[in-house]
Amino acid sequence: MKFYVETLGCWLNKADSELIAQRLEAAGHERVGDPSQADLVVLNTCAVRQEAEESAVRFLRRVGGGGDGRGRRIVASGCLVRVRPDRLRKAAPGVELVDLRSVEEFERAIAGNPPAGERPMKALPEFLGARGHVHVVPIQVGCMGNCAFCATKLARGGGGWVRSYELRDVVENVRRAVQRGAREIYLTGQETSAYGRDKGYDLVDLLEAILKIEGRFFVRMGMMEPLELSGLLDRLIDVARSDWRVYRFFHVPVQSGSDRVLRIMKRKYDASLFREEVLKIRNAFPDSTVATDIIVGHPGEGEEDFQESLKLIGELGIDKVHVARFSPRPGTEAAAMKQVPDPVKKARSKLMSEEALKVSLARNLKFVGGTFNGVVSQPGYRGRGFMVRIGNYRPVIVEKATPSAFVTVSVDGATPIHLTGRVVE
């Protein structure tokens, strides 16, 4: 059987898709790069935003519309299967919906067997070089929060429901990957900072164990929610200080700079906690990269609330802002609230994106003229040159480089998105 896997959404989804593909290949099936050539098409969906839902629908209509005479099997998995099953069925009549809690569940469904239960947290993807030298490792699912806007909690779990992979299993998986040539390890999860809540250990314990592995590689930590991070941050900084292999990269989603809106969102912290954490990170690592998420136009957000979010980004010099224009998701509390008009959301999204790019450029310009150590990660933007990830995960685009090599780069230019330079060693 020939199969094709399409993935929408987060790094956790990408890791799940890779695991599905590896299991199918191990069973003797062939992976192809074009869905029109496949006997089995798998779509791993995302429910976070409306645009991700629309992407899933367009894909299903395209592959499920027939017209090529191929009686292919189409399977949809991921978060939309729970959140919007009827829309997926309408997009491609005959599509099979798999409530993907794990690759084991997927395999049972493909074989026509009923689901066995929740994710057993056993199977991890092996490093096979599918993404160059990057190895993505899922370490947990579930979340300690219960946010008003979130549909993911309905699909993967939330409200304190957390399941983590055993520490020793993750460490051994990373060890094998490093031995096989992995140079960047991405620890990912629904809420990475909640890792180990169900086990009696935490993310810092895992990081310390991984750093005992011999070899040259970088570790990138996934998203860390502010309240969960607050109990880990001091130890996390100490570990990062002690080993150059930890990317000085911190993804901490604040979602809003307004305490009033944060309460409406049912976030469990106020903006001052985020501010304190960013300042603590900056004090320890002045050149660190801090990324955050901002939702604009959430129900209840007034102009003053929006201005507080704008001010927070500029005040703290946030390096990368993922700006999301609020879209109501089925089954969530926020969907039933009075909505901010679309033209207002659009205008605020534009202003926030412009401010984020302005701040990012100002931060990037500080690196011009410096030299930094990093690893040649992948082809550059739009296929031009190569991308070097330096120690704070910033991308430096260079003209010539050897893939997967550890190098020293001299930075001679900056844009809001990346730095430019050349390899000097």
- The answer on pLDDT for 216 being more than 70 is yes
Antiparallel, parallel or unpaired: β 73-78 and 40-45 = parallel
pLDDT for the residue numbered 117: 55
The region of weakest confidence among 143-152, 287-296, 357-366 is 143-152
- The answer on pLDDT for 154 being more than 90 is no
Average pLDDT, whole number, for the chain? 92
Contact indicator for 298, 263 with CB cutoff of 8 Å: no
The region of weakest confidence among 18-27, 200-209, 333-342 is 18-27
Pick the CATH number of 134-365 from 3.40.50.300, 3.80.30.20, 3.40.190.10, 3.40.1180.10: 3.80.30.20
pLDDT band, residue 197 (cuts 50/70/90)? very high
The two domains 2-110 and 134-365 share their CATH topology (first three levels equal): no
- The answer on pLDDT for 263 being more than 50 is yes
Contact indicator for 376, 404 with CB cutoff of 8 Å: yes
Antiparallel, parallel or unpaired: β 289-296 and 320-325 = parallel
Return the structure tokens found at 305. 């609330």
How many whole angstroms separate alpha carbon 17 and alpha carbon 271? 35
How many whole angstroms separate alpha carbon 75 and alpha carbon 107? 12
pLDDT for the residue numbered 67: 43
For residue 209, count other CB atoms closer than 10 A to its CB.
17
Domain ranges across the chain: 2-110, 134-365, 371-423
Q: Which of 422, 421, 381, 389 is nearest to 406 (CA)?
A: 389
The domain made up of 371-423 has a fold known as OB fold (Dihydrolipoamide Acetyltransferase, E2P) (2.40.50)
pTM score of the predicted model: 0.91
> How large is the average pLDDT for residues 331-338?
95
Q: For the segment 93-146, what is each residue's pLDDT rounded down to a tens digit?
A: 989 888 755 566 666 666 665 555 556 677 889 998 877 899 999 999 999 999
Contact indicator for 146, 266 with CB cutoff of 8 Å: yes
Q: Which of 408, 418, 419 is nearest to 376 (CA)?
A: 408
The region of weakest confidence among 102-111, 340-349, 356-365 is 102-111
Percent of the chain with pLDDT over 90: 78
- The answer on pLDDT for 319 being more than 50 is yes
For residue 15, count other CB atoms closer than 10 A to its CB.
21
How many whole angstroms separate alpha carbon 373 and alpha carbon 41? 41
- The answer on pLDDT for 425 being more than 90 is no
Percent of the chain with pLDDT over 70: 93
pLDDT for the residue numbered 130: 72
Q: Please give the CATH number for the structural domain made up of 2-110.
A: 3.40.50.12160
Q: For the segment 78-94, what is each residue's pLDDT rounded down to a tens digit?
A: 889 889 999 999 999 98
Burial class (CB in 10 A: 0-12, 13-18, 19+), 86: exposed
Q: For the segment 13-53, what is each residue's pLDDT rounded down to a tens digit?
A: 898 889 889 988 988 999 999 999 999 999 999 999 999 99
Return the structure tokens found at 288. 């660190």
pLDDT for the residue numbered 278: 98
> How large is the average pLDDT for residues 241-263?
98
> How large is the average pLDDT for residues 365-375?
98
Return the structure tokens found at 68. 């090529």
Cα–Cα distances (Å) from 207 to 127, 183, 212, 235, 392, in that order, read 19, 16, 9, 11, 17
> How large is the average pLDDT for residues 296-302?
98
pLDDT for the residue numbered 106: 66
Tell which wins on pLDDT, 23 or 225: 225
- The answer on pLDDT for 69 being more than 50 is no
Tell which wins on pLDDT, 383 or 361: 361
